[in-house]
Amino acid sequence: SANFQHKSTFSAPSNIALVKYWGKNPDQTPANPSISFTLNDCKTITSVEASFANQFSFDFYFEGERKPSFLPKLQTFFDKILPYCAFLNGLTLKIDSKNTFPHSSGIASSASALAALAMNICDIERQLSSHPNEEHLLKKASFLARIGSGSACRSISGNPVIWGKNETFPAASDLYGIAFPNTLHAVFHNFQDTIMLVDVGQKVVSSTAGHALMNNHPFAASRFEQAHRNLAIISKALEQGDLDKFIEITESEALTLHAMMLTSTPSFILMHANTLQIIERVRRFRESTKLPLCFTLDAGANVHLLYPESIKSEILEFIKENLVEFCQNQQYLCDTVGNGAQKL
Ligand code: PMV
Question: Which atom of ligand 1 approaches the CA of 21 most closely?
Answer: 13
Answer with the one of 151, 183, 215 that is the final residue of a domain: 183
CATH assignment at residue 254: 3.30.70.890
Pocket test for ligand 1, best of 20, 110, 211 (most atoms within 8 A of CB): 20
What does the pLDDT read at residue 85?
97
Order of all β-strands in the sheet with 294-297: 294-297, 303-307, 192-196, 332-336
- What is the predicted pLDDT for the residue at 160? 98
| In a shared domain, residues 140 and 50 | yes
Integer Cα distance of 1 and 130 in angstroms: 14
**Mean pLDDT split into 10-residue runs, the chain, 344 residues:** 83 98 97 98 97 94 93 96 95 96 75 97 93 92 97 96 98 98 97 96 87 97 98 98 98 98 96 98 98 96 97 98 97 97 97
Tell me the best of 14, 15, 16, 21 to mutate to test the pocket of ligand 1, counting ligand atoms within 8 Å of each CB and taking the most.
Answer: 21
- As a whole number of angstroms, the distance between CA 219 and CA 203 comes to 24
Q: What is the pLDDT at residue 107?
A: 74
* Ligand 1 center to 36 CA (angstroms): 10
The distance of Cα 204 from the centroid of its chain, to the nearest Å, equals: 18
> With b meaning 16 or more CB within 10 Å and e meaning fewer, what string describes 258-284?
bebbeebeeebebbbebbebbbebbee
253 within ligand 1 shell (Cβ under 6 A): no
Residues 56 and 110 placed together within one structural domain of the fold: yes
Q: Is residue 29 part of a domain?
A: yes
Q: 152 CA to middle of ligand 1, Å?
A: 8
* 32 plus 171 within the same structural domain: yes
Q: Same domain, yes or no, for 84 and 193?
A: no
Q: Which pLDDT value is given to residue 203?
A: 79
pLDDT at 88: 95
- What range defines the domain where residue 155 resides? 5-183
Q: How many structural domains is the chain composed of? A: 2
Last residue of a domain, one of 132, 166, 183: 183
Residue pair 194/315 in contact by the 8 Å Cβ criterion: yes
Task: Please report whether residue 247 resides in a domain.
Answer: yes
What is the predicted pLDDT for the residue at 104?
67
Choose the final residue of a domain: 130, 154, 183: 183
Q: What is the pLDDT of residue 106?
A: 67
The answer to the question of residue 43 being in a domain is yes
Rg (CA), the chain: 20
User: Domain with 47 in it: what CATH number?
Assistant: 3.30.230.10
Answer yes or no: do 152 and 233 share one domain. no
